[in-house]
């Protein structure tokens, strides 16, 4: 009853082609944005912002980047964290070496650097595909981390390869409090998510999907394979690079190359698989799930300990958490292989007919 | 020149060790099209079970047998719980499921046996006097070749690998089950059509992969100690697979040899030019990548013919 587009007529092409053609969707998205920009900073405390919401937003952005590459263009990649590392370390260097560099420009340039790395490691995708490509992207993961550790220039010759993010100052305002960092992250993520959503509706996005569905067929209908695949790598890496920069500047503060290890790549891959491959919303849902799950497991294990009144050893708990995490992933893959975004879609379909499904 | 040969030989023998892990991948990929990322965790699980049994005073052969049974059970359970509900899903979903399985096995193994590293010695009996295979240079070989040092253990591992591959080849070529396995690997639907029970075959394959994991776990455990780091062996085996091809048992062996040799040679001869070495981590991958540019399906992989 509430969610029904009956009576909403589109009388121009612009109306027909807007991102959210249904009024209720527009209202919902607007309400969500208002809540995220106004409500959350007012309601959430320090811990929620710094330990949950900021990493969630940043990882969503990284997942979005990977989703562009894997979900839309069909190129499986295991090197996501490496692109993030490039973004983080290049931002640091731009800020360090060019005096008075605006931070947002640094973010963008670092994204461009990540995109360049992405193009280089995307070159093999022209010849190989599937798992061969996935394994090949591991080369990127190991090579980038090795380079960042070994070449002191990247970390300004700090002894352990650790970089400390400079202060974020935009137009004279210093983003120091957690709240302001949250808002900055949110703004960047919102703009980039909107851009991604739009990009997928353009010719480029459709070319990505054609290549994903069958690259030989795409070539036959005149899509330049090389350009499309490399563009997918570039855009995806750009997103990951910016996400990495935010990871260093808005979340961790001090990072070492090891923070961007293979584990992070896998976590981001989990996010898009569980969230929904080839779905912008799915990237966010997946990121929320993977960010919250360990915290939820931790809290519930503490609660069980408290309820039973026994002291369980830390090793036991962490091993149990590992097992539950693995089992849950398998469970989710079995129950809903198309991810949480698919569940959302089914829910919407149901809602349209509710309360008279027949 | 002598140094070159020593490095080469050491690399080749180390490569054999990689092949042992890669073999497990190949077996499962061949038969079920699943890229089993959990192979590394299976190696770890097998090794830690084995070493815990040994430390509990169980005879080495009995320990092997018990571990083997455990691995087969895990294989069957995996087939039943993870793979069967995911039939007909895209390969990436299955791949992710095996990563989930990796987490599960890592947690399970450490839950059962603790997370402290164990030393492992392959000896014929527990009490002294006993004969052990240790990581020591073979003196007679060094005398023979004018000072090329080769670890006795590495040579033993090479023989074990050779025996394993021979046994697997015989199993695949000569037995009824082996024929069924090859049929399934060729074409699932056709195999089903002629009455081969797919599920049984998969359970067997996972069991065999568990056996290979046990051997690999024993070898690696004896060499580097049984510890959590064994799970990362899966990553080392990946470039081997790229070069050898995902579907080929000889490819896994040859790929292992190539990767082992180039890795060690590159570290020794190219490393000094690359910011002070440490290139072992990524060199195999980059090497495999460049190799793939020329031969996208690996050395022995099946050529992919695409039609629209």
Phi, psi of A76 (to 5 degrees): -70, 130
Flag whether pLDDT at B300 surpasses 80.
no
Flag whether pLDDT at A331 surpasses 60.
yes
CB contact under 8 A, A320 and B111: yes
Task: Judge contact between B213 and B42, C-beta under 8 A.
Answer: yes
Pairing between β-strand A168-170 and β-strand A173-175 as defined by DSSP bridges: antiparallel
Task: Judge contact between B10 and B268, C-beta under 8 A.
Answer: no
Phi-psi sector, A261: left (phi>0), alpha (psi -120 to 50), beta: beta
Phi, psi of B122 (to 5 degrees): -90, 100
Q: Give dist(CA A100, CA A104) in Å, integer.
A: 12
Indicate the class that CATH gives domain A44-353: mainly alpha
Task: Judge contact between A63 and A192, C-beta under 8 A.
Answer: no
Flag whether pLDDT at B155 surpasses 70.
yes
Closest C-alpha to A106, from A119, A90, A118: A90
pLDDT at residue A32, as a whole number: 92
Flag whether pLDDT at A103 surpasses 60.
yes
Q: Give dist(CA B24, CA B231) in Å, integer.
A: 13
Q: Please, is A190 exposed, middle or buried when counting C-beta atoms within 10 Å of its C-beta (0-12, 13-18, 19+)? A: middle
pLDDT at residue B146, as a whole number: 67
* DSSP letter string, B2-57: HHHHHHHHHHHHHHHHHHHHHHHHHHHHHHH----TTHHHHHHHHHHHHHHHHHTT
Minimum distance, in Å, between the CA of residue A196 and any CA atom of chain B:
23
Across chain B, which distance is largest between two alpha carbons, in Å?
68
Q: Which residue has the tokens 């459709």?
A: A206
Which one of A77, A82, A135, A223 would you mutate to disrupt binding with B, by most B Cβ within 10 Å of its Cβ? A135
Closest C-alpha to B299, from B242, B236, B239, B256: B242
pLDDT tens for each residue of A285-298: 999 988 888 888 88
Q: Give dist(CA A189, CA A182) in Å, integer.
A: 10
Q: Is B107 on the interface with A (CB under 8 A)?
A: yes
In chain A, what are the domain boundaries? 44-353
CB contact under 8 A, A333 and B108: no
Closest alpha carbon within chain A to B240: A135
Q: Which of residues 232-271 of B touch A (CB under 8 A)?
A: 235, 238-239, 241-242, 246
pLDDT tens for each residue of B212-225: 999 888 888 887 88
Minimum distance, in Å, between the CA of residue A88 and any CA atom of chain B:
21
Tokens of residue A104, six digits: 């947002």
Task: Judge contact between A244 and A83, C-beta under 8 A.
Answer: yes
Flag whether pLDDT at A41 surpasses 90.
no
Domains and CATH numbers, chain B: 2-114+135-294 (1.10.3470)
Q: Which residue has the tokens 């974020």?
A: A168
Tokens of residue A250, six digits: 């808005």
- Report chain B residues whose CB lies below 8 A from the CB of A324: 107
Stretch A145-158: mean pLDDT, rounded?
84
Stretch B177-186: mean pLDDT, rounded?
83
pLDDT at residue A31, as a whole number: 93
Flag whether pLDDT at A80 surpasses 60.
yes
Which one of A152, A327, A328 would you mutate to disrupt binding with B, by most B Cβ within 10 Å of its Cβ? A327
pLDDT at residue A52, as a whole number: 87
Pairing between β-strand B132-133 and β-strand A168-170 as defined by DSSP bridges: unpaired
Between residues A129 and A191, which one has the greater pLDDT?
A: A191
Degrees, nearest 5: CA angle A70-A75-A79: 80
Task: Judge contact between B202 and B83, C-beta under 8 A.
Answer: yes
Write the CB contacts of A95 (distance below 8 Å, at least 6 apart in sequence): A101, A103, A106, A166
CA A241, A242, A246, A249: dihedral to nearest 10 degrees? 70
pLDDT tens for each residue of A229-267: 999 999 999 999 999 999 999 998 888 888 898 889 988
pLDDT at residue A176, as a whole number: 82
Flag whether pLDDT at B126 surpasses 70.
no
User: In terms of residues, how long is chain B?
Assistant: 308
Between residues B304 and A324, which one has the greater pLDDT?
A: A324
Q: Is B228 on the interface with A (CB under 8 A)?
A: no
Stretch B9-36: mean pLDDT, rounded?
85
pLDDT at residue B16, as a whole number: 86
Q: Which of A50-64, B129-143, B237-251 has the lowest mean pLDDT?
A: B129-143
Q: Is B226 helix (H, G, I), strand (E, B) or coil?
A: strand
Chain A to chain B, count of Cβ pairs less than 8 Å apart? Answer: 135
- Report chain B residues whose CB lies below 8 A from the CB of A132: 242, 246, 292, 296-298
- Report chain A residues whose CB lies below 8 A from the CB of B273: none
Q: So what's the ipTM on this one?
A: 0.82
Name the band, by pLDDT with cuts 50, 70 and 90, for residue B125: low
Flag whether pLDDT at A114 surpasses 60.
yes
pLDDT at residue A187, as a whole number: 94
Which one of B28, B282, B294 would you mutate to disrupt binding with A, by most A Cβ within 10 Å of its Cβ? B282
Q: Where are the alpha helices (DSSP H) in B137-295?
A: 139-145, 152-174, 176-186, 188-193, 198-224, 233-244, 249-265, 283-294
Name which of B35, B275, B292 is nearest A136 (Cβ-Cβ): B292
Number of Cβ within 10 Å of residue A232's Cβ equals 27
């Amino acid at each position: 009853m509430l969610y029904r587009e009956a009576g909403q007529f589109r009388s121009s092409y612009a109306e027909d082609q807007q991102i959210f053609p249904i009024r209720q969707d527009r209202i919902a998205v607007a309400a969500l944005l208002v809540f995220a920009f106004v409500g959350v900073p007012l309601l959430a405390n320090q811990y929620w912002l710094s330990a949950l919401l900021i990493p969630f937003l940043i990882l969503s952005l990284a997942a979005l980047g990977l989703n562009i590459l894997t979900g839309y263009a069909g190129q499986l990649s295991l090197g996501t964290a490496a692109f993030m590392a490039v973004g983080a370390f290049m931002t640091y260097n731009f800020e360090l070496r060019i005096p008075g560099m605006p931070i947002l420009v640094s973010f963008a340039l670092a994204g461009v650097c990540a995109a360049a790395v992405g193009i280089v490691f995307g070159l093999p995708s022209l010849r190989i595909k599937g798992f061969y490509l996935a394994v090949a992207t591991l080369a990127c993961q190991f090579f980038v981390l090795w380079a960042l550790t070994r070449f002191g220039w990247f970390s300004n010759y700090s002894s352990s390869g650790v970089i400390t993010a400079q202060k974020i100052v935009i137009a004279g305002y210093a983003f120091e409090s957690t709240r302001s960092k949250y808002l900055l992250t949110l703004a960047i993520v919102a703009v980039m998510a909107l851009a991604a959503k739009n990009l997928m509706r353009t010719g480029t996005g459709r070319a990505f999907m054609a290549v994903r569905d069958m690259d030989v067929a795409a070539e036959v209908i005149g899509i330049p394979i090389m350009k499309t695949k490399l563009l997918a790598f570039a855009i995806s890496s750009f997103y990951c690079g910016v996400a990495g920069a935010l990871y260093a500047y808005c979340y961790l503060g001090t990072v070492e190359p090891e923070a961007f290890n293979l584990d992070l790549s896998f976590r981001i891959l989990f996010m898009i698989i569980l969230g929904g491959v080839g779905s912008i919303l799915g990237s966010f849902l997946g990121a929320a799930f993977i960010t919250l799950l360990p915290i939820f497991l931790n809290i519930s294990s503490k609660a069980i300990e408290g309820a039973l009144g026994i002291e369980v050893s830390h090793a036991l708990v962490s091993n149990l958490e590992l097992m539950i995490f693995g089992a849950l992933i398998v469970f989710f893959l079995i129950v809903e292989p198309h991810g949480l975004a698919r569940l959302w879609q089914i829910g919407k379909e149901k809602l349209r007919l509710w309360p008279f499904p027949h | 020149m002598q140094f070159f040969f020593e490095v080469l030989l050491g690399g080749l023998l180390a490569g054999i060790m990689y092949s042992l892990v890669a073999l497990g991948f190949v077996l499962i990929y061949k038969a079920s099209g699943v890229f089993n990322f959990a192979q590394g965790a299976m190696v770890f699980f097998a090794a830690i079970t084995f070493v815990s049994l040994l430390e509990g005073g169980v005879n080495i052969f009995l320990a092997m047998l018990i571990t083997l049974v455990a691995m087969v059970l895990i294989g069957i359970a995996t087939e039943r719980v993870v793979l069967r509900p995911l039939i007909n899903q895209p390969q990436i979903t299955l791949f992710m499921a095996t990563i989930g399985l990796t987490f599960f096995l890592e947690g399970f193994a450490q839950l059962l046996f603790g997370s402290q590293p164990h030393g492992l010695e392959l000896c014929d009996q527990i009490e002294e006097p006993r004969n052990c295979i240790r990581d020591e240079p073979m003196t007679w070989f060094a005398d023979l070749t004018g000072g090329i040092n080769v670890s006795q253990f590495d040579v033993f591992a090479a023989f074990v690998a050779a025996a394993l591959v021979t046994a697997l080849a015989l199993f695949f070529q000569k037995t009824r089950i082996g024929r069924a396995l090859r049929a399934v690997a060729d074409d699932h639907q056709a195999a089903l059509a002629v009455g081969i029970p797919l599920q049984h075959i998969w359970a067997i394959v996972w069991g065999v992969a568990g056996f290979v994991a046990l051997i690999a776990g024993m070898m690696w455990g004896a060499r580097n100690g049984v510890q959590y780091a064994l799970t990362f062996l899966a990553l080392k085996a990946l470039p081997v697979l790229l070069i050898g091809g995902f579907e080929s048992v000889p490819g896994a062996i040859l790929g292992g040899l190539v990767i082992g040799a180039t890795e060690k040679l590159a570290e020794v001869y190219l490393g000094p030019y690359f910011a002070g070495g440490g290139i072992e981590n990524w060199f195999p991958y980059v090497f495999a990548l460049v190799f793939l540019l020329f031969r996208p399906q690996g050395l022995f992989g099946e050529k992919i013919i695409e039609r629209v």
